[in-house]
Amino acid sequence: MKHSFCWSAFFILERRMETLKVNGNETEFPDGLPGTIAQLLKHLNIDEATVVAELEGKIISRDDFANTPLVDGQSIELIRFVGGG
Amino acid sequence: MDKLVIANREFDSRLLVGTGKFPSCESMAQALESSGSEIVTVALRRVDINNKNDDMLSAIDFNKYLLLPNTSGARDADEAVRLSKLARAATGINWVKLEVTPDPYYLLPDPIETLKAAEILVKDGFIVLPYINADPILAKRLEDVGTATVMPLASPIGSNQGIKTKAAIEIIIEQANVPVVVDAGLGLPSHAADAMEMGADAVLVNTAIATADDPSKMAEAFKLAVQAGRMAYTSGFSASSKKASASSPLTGFLRDE
């Protein structure tokens, strides 16, 4: 009993894909989590020059996109300017 | 025309233009050009992951216009401060049009949260232009905490109703030591001219320009109206009266009395 429980837990861990909460949506990354914010933007095909990012509630300066690592389960907001009055 | 000075920065134009609701980036860029404006407002929103080609900033020439991010969507002071900081991180610009509008129907600004946010933002080094209801006491309180302007509303945002708050805006103008920018609800150039004749330092227009059939033409019409209104105000026009005052001499008539 104990033995099989261990195996099933292992199986679940193996199968669970790494995720990020991007703009409120749980997003799975079948090919593995992007290593940095810059890589995430590249993955999503978003021009980083137009974006401001907030990782776990903390604003990340654009200069730090390439050296800010992402960890499974984190929440990130990607924000940009739109027309407004 | 005499210059508009906000936070020690000089502007030739007294017309601020919002960038929402334009049918396309091209029509927005044309209208901004025709308006002669030097300050344009923008909003901050989440990137639409499914539609990434919605980058409208590429149509705005940063050398020509001061970008004034707004905090639209903020329902309280905390959200407004968060948006202001994100905007500053995005642009390096510390100017912000502070708006806190928890009411989705009339989009009327929350005076208490606006004052609270203004205080925090001024202390944090922001140049704060708060959008407020036409409340002279609130305008004074905001000026006291160090806002760069006050921006009383003429009527609800996007309503095109013109100046429904005239008496209160007149008091604000009379008492203010910072520029008064009449914002929201100006639907026609004549409304803008009216505000300028009342002595407003500037006006902000978005919907009336962006939703006209020809935004560029309407932008120019607003430009001219703002110039005309300001010229009239600075000309020192005379007071109105109930009775007539003849423009032609009342002597030398061609008749025998």
CB contact under 8 A, A44 and B49: yes
Domain extent for B188: 4-234
Q: Residue B255: inside a domain, yes or no? A: no
Q: Residue A21: inside a domain, yes or no? A: no
The CATH number assigned to the domain holding A71 equals 3.10.20.30
Whether A1 has a pLDDT exceeding 70, the answer reads no
CB contact under 8 A, A85 and B28: no
Whether B78 has a pLDDT exceeding 90, the answer reads yes
How do residues B202-255 score in pLDDT, each as one tens digit? 999 999 999 999 999 999 999 999 999 999 999 988 888 999 989 999 888 999
Only one residue has tokens 């227009």, namely B205
Q: Residue A25: inside a domain, yes or no? A: no
CB < 8 Å to B101, chain A: none
Shortest alpha-carbon distance between residue A53 and chain B (Å): 8
Q: Residue A4: inside a domain, yes or no? A: no
Chain A residue at shortest CA distance from B46: A79
pLDDT for position B177: 97
Whether A59 has a pLDDT exceeding 60, the answer reads yes
Complex ipTM value: 0.83
Interchain CB contact of A51 with B (< 8 Å): yes
Shortest alpha-carbon distance between residue B177 and chain A (Å): 24
The CATH number assigned to the domain holding B138 equals 3.20.20.70
Number of domains in chain A: 1
Share of chain B above pLDDT 70, in %: 98
Domain extent for A76: 30-85
B147, B72, B93: which is closest to B116 by C-alpha?
A: B147
Q: Residue B250: inside a domain, yes or no? A: no
Number of domains in chain B: 1
Phi and psi at A30, nearest 5°, equal -55, -30
Q: Residue A70: inside a domain, yes or no? A: yes
Other CB atoms closer than 10 Å to residue B214's CB: what's the count?
Answer: 14
Q: Residue B37 gets which letter from DSSP? A: -
Average pLDDT, chain B: 94
Q: Residue B32: inside a domain, yes or no? A: yes
